[in-house]
Amino acid sequence: MYLDLNHPHDAAIYACIMVTFYSISRLGEFTVPSLLKFNDTPTPYIKHSHFTVKADTKGLPILSFHFPFMKCCPEGEDMHCAPLDHLTDPATWLNNHLHINYPAQEDHLFTWRHPKGLHPLTKTKVTKCLNELVTQYNLPNIKGHSFHIGATLHYLLLGTPFNIVKMIGRWSGESFT
């Protein structure tokens, strides 16, 4: 198995993984638990219209994602990440996904073109794909929280100050210190 980044399903998965990682998020924040749950209550999930590109104080682009509802923050919350000059650039892969799948503004951000119609990306789809890749390439097991933990370590090893990593990862407590 490999990911074909020109295929609607794989483009959505890879973009979701890159955005989840670099925004220090949890996989469940950018995916839906199931198609059934999404069809019953689509409003708490991120839509394409909730994604914008903003600029930081130096005019550099920032990818911004507004979540209309979070368990710990019912009024919603924003998550951010920056484009990178790297093979894993979240902006490149998000744009690739949007170009291939072209979700409407009111569709889930990671909607992909399934042969039977549009489908929001489920956590199960991403996890299944990751498990297949992990097994095939004999990699360490990856779970949904692995992105949150791995990205934290990534930024800390790059020398990002801890208070900045906490802010990106949206920690309010001191449980990590």
Query: What are the pLDDT digits (tens) for 9-29?
Result: 999 999 999 999 999 998 988
**108: pLDDT strictly greater than 90:** yes
What the block records as the tokens of 151 is 């990205």
Parallel/antiparallel/unpaired status of strands 51-55 and 117-120: unpaired
169 contacts 163 by C-beta, under 8 angstroms: no
**98: pLDDT strictly greater than 70:** yes
Q: What is the mean pLDDT of residues 86-109?
A: 96
The pLDDT of residue 164 is 86
The pLDDT of residue 176 is 56
Query: What is the model's pTM?
Result: 0.90
Q: Within the chain, what is the greatest distance between any pair of CA atoms?
A: 48
Sign for the pseudo-dihedral over CA of 156, 158, 161, 163: negative
The pLDDT of residue 42 is 58
Give the distance from CA 47 to its chain's centroid.
12
Round the average pLDDT of the chain to a whole number and report it. Answer: 89
Q: What is the mean pLDDT of residues 40-46?
A: 74
Residue type, 43: T
**177: pLDDT strictly greater than 60:** no
The pLDDT of residue 17 is 95
**112: pLDDT strictly greater than 60:** yes
